Amino acid sequence: MENLHRIIDENRSQLIETIQRWVAVPSIRSNPEPDAPFGKEVAKALDVALQDASQMGFETRNLDYYAGDVRMGPLGVEPLAILAHLDIVPVGDGWTVDPFGGMVEGDRIYGRGTNDDKGPAVAALYAMKAIQQAGIPLKREVRLILGCDEESGMEDITYYKEHYDLPRSGFSPDASYPIINTEKGMLGMHLRGNTATEGLKVLRFNVGERHNVVPGSATAIIQGDAEQCEYINRLAKEMTLDVTAESAEGGIKLTATGINGHAAYPEGARNAIGMILLMLRALGVNGALKTLADTIGMEYDGASLGVSCSDRTSGPLTCNLGVIRYDENGLYAELDFRFPLLANGERIAETVTAALGSEIEVTQATVKRPHHVAPNSELVVALLNAYHEETGRPRECISTGGGTYARCLEEGVAFGATFPEEEDVAHQANEYMLLESLMQSVRIFARAIIGLAGEEALEG
């Protein structure tokens, strides 16, 4: 193991350069084009990644720009999958560094995707490279799958399953250590409603780009004059809402400042849409917006919707109102629920629909079942051993509200790459990764690959 560690350390500068090259591509899903089902920037990101892997001497495949893979070992023999993704969420507000610059400052590398999920993907690639350079023989194929649509519905893996040989077992470095063997179920709901004919007139309220992002800022334009701004600002202080009012062309502009984050962990964020909704209700809004304020507001546990629940294995249900569009044409909104292992997604959808009442129509409800892998499985045991042997930390299984590629495998878990004490910066402004944590992940992944696919056990 000492020789492998030395090789990994020698590759540090190259690893950083690779991450910077991958982060420089703004691979946000956009309209499909020929040879680019998720947009040209996502396709470009795949080209860059596969070219880098090919230059390292690996077998690579471009799977019609839905995904790509990087392979080593005896091809076709019980493939061990490592599933990562190259697509990213939109940048959002609040950045103080270039989100595509890959800036290194101290022991951090900044940029959208450094944490979720380009940095961990590169760490897995360099773990494979170190094993290759060390000449360690493998008894199974090791396959790094680079997806292109993880953030927007996982159409990439669906396509992979339908057209190629998706492995049965593996892990996704797209979450946290020690190991996540339980992923909550996911329920996405699209809502529509009419514009209110009475009460406060809201001219425009358009916030959010993805259902799985907690919006950290929001604005709305309401009918009113400058004299009302002082009253609204005083009211916001009384309600302890970070909302300000100022005169704007055609009315009053409301601005809410919250804390953005990932919809799977809304307890660490503060939804700016919710703040605006509560202020609008206080100012006398009616119709669909009042219903959303009454049933959701700034709640993230589904309590007022009647769906709050929890279990010991996976924890509590969470709810995020991530997108809202409101103007003279009516309301459109998107809700994101993450529900426990023992809950029923269809029943949750029925309860939410009833709670929203006649003002709001549910036009779409998509349910993904929870995912669970036994903690005593060969895969989980081997991964936990690698984690413990490299770090000395306890072997533990945890759950998440996040949805990773692990749920796409018959036996898949999320494994890394954020350590327990590190803050969750996925989907947030100034996203970063600690370089030493990335290097530690390379060592952990290399040991895990050898433990699961190596011909012989590691010594040391």
Interval 186-214: pLDDT, tens: 999 999 999 999 999 999 999 998 898 99
Task: Determine the Cα angle at 368 with ends 366 and 373, to 5°.
Answer: 175
Does pLDDT of 459 surpass 70? no
Instruction: Give me the numbers of helices (H) and strands (E) for the chain, helices first please.
Output: 11, 26
- The predicted-structure confidence for 327-377, as pLDDT tens digits, reads as follows 999 999 999 999 999 999 999 999 999 999 999 999 999 999 999 999 999
Q: Which residue has the higher pLDDT, 80 or 402?
A: 80
Q: Give residue 165's pLDDT.
A: 94
Average pLDDT over residues 224-247: 96
* Helix axes of 118-134 and 40-55: crossing angle, nearest 10 degrees: 20
- Digit-coded pLDDT (tens) for 109-150: 999 999 999 999 999 999 999 999 999 999 999 999 999 999
Q: One of 52, 141, 149, 150 is an active-site residue; which one?
A: 150
Digit-coded pLDDT (tens) for 208-218: 988 989 999 99
Determine which one of 87, 334, 336, 424 is catalytic. 87
Which residues in the chain are classed under CATH 3.40.630.10?
2-183+371-453
Which burial class, exposed, middle or buried, applies to 388 when counting CB atoms under 10 A from its CB (0-12, 13-18, 19+)? middle
Instruction: Annotate 402-433 with b (16+ C-beta within 10 A) or e (fewer).
Output: bbbbbbbbebbbbbbbbbeeeebbbbbbbbbb
Please confirm, yes or no, whether 87 is among the known catalytic residues.
yes
∠ CA 193-197-201, rounded to 5°: 95
pLDDT at residue number 356? 98
* Three-state secondary-structure class, residue 214: strand
Q: What is the pLDDT of residue 354?
A: 98
Considering only 24-28, 55-59, 209-213, 438-442, which range has the smallest mean pLDDT?
209-213
Q: What is the pLDDT of residues 165-191, one digit of tens each?
A: 999 999 999 999 999 999 999 999 999
The C-alpha atoms of residue 175 and residue 24 are separated, in whole angstroms, by 22
Res 448 pLDDT > 70: yes
What pLDDT is attached to residue 457?
Answer: 65
User: Is the pLDDT score of 460 beyond 70?
Assistant: no
Which CATH number is 186-368 given? 3.30.70.360
For the chain, residues classed under CATH 3.30.70.360 are: 186-368
Percentage with pLDDT > 90 across the chain: 92
Cα(33)–Cα(27) distance, rounded to whole angstroms? 14
> What is the pTM assigned to this prediction?
0.82
What's the whole-number average pLDDT of the chain?
96
CATH architecture of 2-183+371-453: 3-Layer(aba) Sandwich (3.40)
* pLDDT score, position 262: 86
- For residue 288, the surrounding DSSP H or E stretch is helix 287-295
Q: What is the mean pLDDT of residues 31-56?
A: 98
Closest C-alpha to 307, from 349, 362, 269: 349
Using the predicted structure, report yes or no on whether residue 84 has a pLDDT greater than 90: yes
